[in-house]
Amino acid sequence: AGLARDLCLTVAGWYGEEVGDATAAERALRSALEHDENSVEALEQLEELHRAPGRERDLCETLRRLATLIAGGAAAQAERSPASLRREAHGLAAQTLADRELGVSILREMIAADEADEWALGELCAAREQAEDFGEVHRLLLRRIELGKDGDVIRELRHQAASVAASKLDKPEAAVELYEQAFEDDPADAAAAQALRELYQKLGRHADMLRFLERLVELSDSPAKRADLRLQSARICLETIERPSDAVEHLNAVLQEVPGHEEAVRLLGKLLEKEGRDDDLADLLRKQIELAAGPEQAEARLGLQLRLAELCETRLEDPERAVAEYLAVLEDRPDHRGARESLARLYEQQGQPAKAAEMIERLFEEADDESAMRLAAKASDLYLGAGDEEAAARALERVVWTADEPETEGGEPRERLAANPALSELRDKLRGLYRSGDLWEDLAELTTAEADLAAQDGEKVVLYRRAAETYAQHGEHGAAAELLELALEKQAEDRDLMLSLCDEYTAAARGKDAVAVLQRVVETYKGRRSKEAGDIHYRIGAAHLADAEEQAALEAFESARKMDPGSVKILHELGRLSLRLAEKTEGAEREAHVKRAANYYRSLLLQKLDESAPVTKAQVFYHLARVNVLEGDKKKAIQMVERALADDRNLAEAKALLDELKA
């Protein structure tokens, strides 16, 4: 067998080195192993062949066989240990081949070979955790604890084993035992202490919990921590095992060391409250407030003040004292939201809506959008209840409007309308307040801002026109024109919009601008004559008059008359303008103006002059009398003025002219 093995090894070497045939060499090596399965030399040569790419699984198996042979003493001279060979094989299985089962099998071989192999135990523990075999994980962790020598490592392993027992195996008692061992090893182990407190609580081991908390109190050098521990003990005594006297003892210990401790006072107060000793509770709180007078105890004092105020409001039913206590809170903490809310509620209950609204307004700053809207509506209603519409509007403005940053340093903030769609109802309410208070400028600004904010052009136009109407009604024709310009940018072909803009230009003495717009309107008629076109020329004439361009106005009015010969207002304007021009001119030009005036007013006598007409029949006779005066016909002038007075005996200008003619 030895000779056959050696011959096979020689053949394998020849195939590998001389011929370069790895497959034949491997076949010869396997023949050698068939003759001598303990041949380390054959396995090592086979290992070299298996290190070729793609042969990782074969290499893994070869390394395991080598490890077994070397461990059995078949090659005492081998430089590599069985453990190192198996580690390499495990690395191939776990990382290269991603074969979890093969990796676990190799780890078990290692542990079988050496029960104290910490590396193998750790790797197997991780593998079984990945496989969610927490029972074996727990057993492996306990084994590693037994083998451990380093205190920190052992403590960490105990933590791991306890965590698995508690969270994965539902064995809280086993977890308690492990954490207790960890805590005994190191009383500064905060994680073990916290875990024990949670487990004692879960298991209902209240006596153990109280003893453990007392131990933690003895170990702690922090008054705050000791207070927390005693508080937990007090809660257990008060809420779980019903030993109120022990609870009082723990709470008094807290207050002796940390006067004014908010939670201790609360729990002690709970005992007094349970017994109905509200006055004693109030005294307790007042005393604690006095004890917590220093700036370093501001938070504790605040909690006590709030508790006392709440007690006065609810248990003692003393709202005036409650108000005083909440005001005391605001003296220390002007921005305290809870105190403001409580004061608002109390003021409203006491029939002081204005004060309640003031408190609510102070809540706006830190509120989110939805809360701010709700608060604004509430404050506005309260102000209205107090009869203060101006303050009611102001409360709404604080959420309806928002201020941008100033555009330049030192500049005033520019307000813009808040974009939240949910503000629509509040804007309607604010609009109503502006109307009832005759705050038309604010109303116009609000409508303008809504137009700027609107998404659709049609909606923008409607709102711009509405705001323009508000300005126009109050004589602000320039502002009205600016808004109509914005509207016209959105609907450039809207004839009615152009006419409205023209009217505002004319009223603002911007005749040239009015004429320019009216020319655009004229173009829309494409040369057609109609009453509507006549009205446009009439407006052009009015615009020229606004700029004192009387001749141009006369021409425009004449164009209007040709398109609408029976228009009373056009004839009236032509008559008035002709008379005015006649009074300013001489000679033939004057005669022409007088003649035109006579014709226009005679034409008016043929028209139906109802109540809607811009001139009455009596006024027409009066103007014809003026024409007669300019013609030098005094007798006829008297006849006309008398006819005017016959139609309207109260026409003052006719009376004056008659007196002048008869003088």
Phi then psi for residue 126, to 5 deg, are: -65, -40
Question: What per-residue confidence (pLDDT) applies to 410?
Answer: 46
Is residue 413's pLDDT more than 80?
no
For residue 74, the model assigns a pLDDT of 62
Q: What are the tens digits of pLDDT across the range 603-625?
A: 888 888 888 888 999 998 999 99
Say if CB 373 and CB 423 are below 8 A apart: yes
Considering 213-217, 279-283, 409-413, the range whose residues carry the highest mean pLDDT is 213-217
Q: What is the mean pLDDT of residues 115-122?
A: 88
For residue 525 the two structure tokens come to: 């008629």
**CA 122 remoteness from chain centre:** 50
Tokens at 385, concatenated: 């209840």
pLDDT of residue 346: 93
pLDDT band at 319 (very low <50, low <70, confident <90, very high): very high
Could you tell me the pTM of the whole model?
0.46
Q: What average pLDDT does range 471-491 have in this prediction?
A: 91
d(CA 558, CA 566): 12
Average pLDDT, the chain: 86
Instruction: Return d(Cα 654, Cα 635) in angstroms, integer.
Output: 15
How many Å is the Cα radius of gyration of the chain? Answer: 52
CA 311 – CA 323 distance, rounded (Å): 11
Phi-psi group of 189: left, alpha or beta (phi > 0 → left; psi -120 to 50 → alpha; rest → beta): beta
Give just the sign of the alpha carbon dihedral 433, 439, 442, 446: positive
Residue 267: how many CA atoms within 13 Å on its side-chain side? Answer: 27
Residue from 540, 567, 535, 569 nearest 555 by CA: 540
Positive or negative, the CA dihedral 55, 59, 60, 61 is positive
Does 522 score more than 80 pLDDT? no
- Under the banding of pLDDT at 50, 70 and 90, the label for residue 355 is very high
- pLDDT class for 75, splitting at 50, 70, 90? low
H helix runs in 362-436, sequence order: 369-385, 389-400, 424-436
The fraction of the chain above a pLDDT of 70, given in percent, is 95
Buried b (16+ CB within 10 A) or exposed e, 269-283: bbbbeeeeebeebbe
- Measured distance CA(209)–CA(197) in Å, rounded: 6
Q: Which residue has the higher pLDDT, 63 or 284?
A: 63
- The residues, ordered by sequence, that sit 6+ positions from 356 with a Cβ below 8 Å of its Cβ are 343, 344, 345, 347, 348, 382
Q: What's phi and psi for 401, nearest 5 deg? A: -105, 150
pLDDT score, position 531: 66
Least confident range from 158-162, 300-304, 448-452: namely: 300-304
User: Which of 68, 46, 71, 70 is CA-nearest to residue 59?
Assistant: 46
Q: Give the Cα separation of 339 and 610 in Å (integer).
A: 70
Q: Does the pLDDT value for residue 584 go beyond 90?
A: no
Mean per-residue pLDDT, 46-75: 88
pLDDT at 414: 44
d(CA 85, CA 82): 5
∠ CA(539), CA(541), CA(543), 5° rounding?
70
Encode 556-603 in three state secondary structure: HHHHHHHHCCCCHHHHHHHHHHHHHHHHHCCHHHHHHHHHHHHHHHHH
DSSP 3-state of 114: coil
C-alpha–C-alpha distance, residues 312 and 321, integer Å: 6
Q: How far apart are CA 13 and CA 24, in angstroms?
A: 10
Q: Mean pLDDT throughout 328-340? A: 90
3-state secondary structure of 565: coil
pLDDT for 517: 76
Three-state secondary structure call for residue 299: helix
Query: What is the distance between the alpha carbons of residues 108 and 127, in angstroms, rounded to a whole number?
Result: 11
Q: Which long-range contacts (CB under 8 A, 24 or more apart) does 363-370 make?
A: 363/337, 364/398, 364/399, 365/335, 366/335, 366/337, 369/399, 369/420, 369/422, 370/422
Residue from 595, 597, 568, 567 nearest 580 by CA: 597
Q: Which amino acid does the sequence have at 355?
A: K
pLDDT above 60 for 405:
no
Query: Alpha helix locations (H) across 474-567?
Result: 477-490, 495-507, 511-524, 531-546, 550-563
Whether residue 540 has pLDDT greater than 70: yes
| Tokens read off for 163 | 């965590």
Q: How far apart are CA 297 and CA 82, in angstroms?
A: 68
Q: What is the DSSP letter of 422?
A: G
Neighbours of 315 (CB within 10 A): 14
Other residues' Cβ atoms within 10 Å of the Cβ of residue 216: 22
- Residues 40-44 have a mean pLDDT of 89
SS3 517: helix
Tell me, what's the pLDDT at 93? Answer: 92
C-alpha to C-alpha distance for 622 and 616, rounded to whole angstroms: 10
* Range in 16-30, 32-46, 76-90, 322-336 with the lowest mean pLDDT: 76-90
pLDDT at position 409: 47
Any idea what the Cα angle at residue 82 is, between residues 81 and 83, rounded to 5°? Answer: 90
Count of all residues that appear for the chain in the document: 663
Q: How far is it, in rounded angstroms, from Cα 409 to Cα 74?
A: 92
Query: Which bin fits 405, alpha (ψ -120 to 50), beta or left (φ > 0)?
Result: beta
Residue 565 pLDDT greater than 70, yes or no = yes
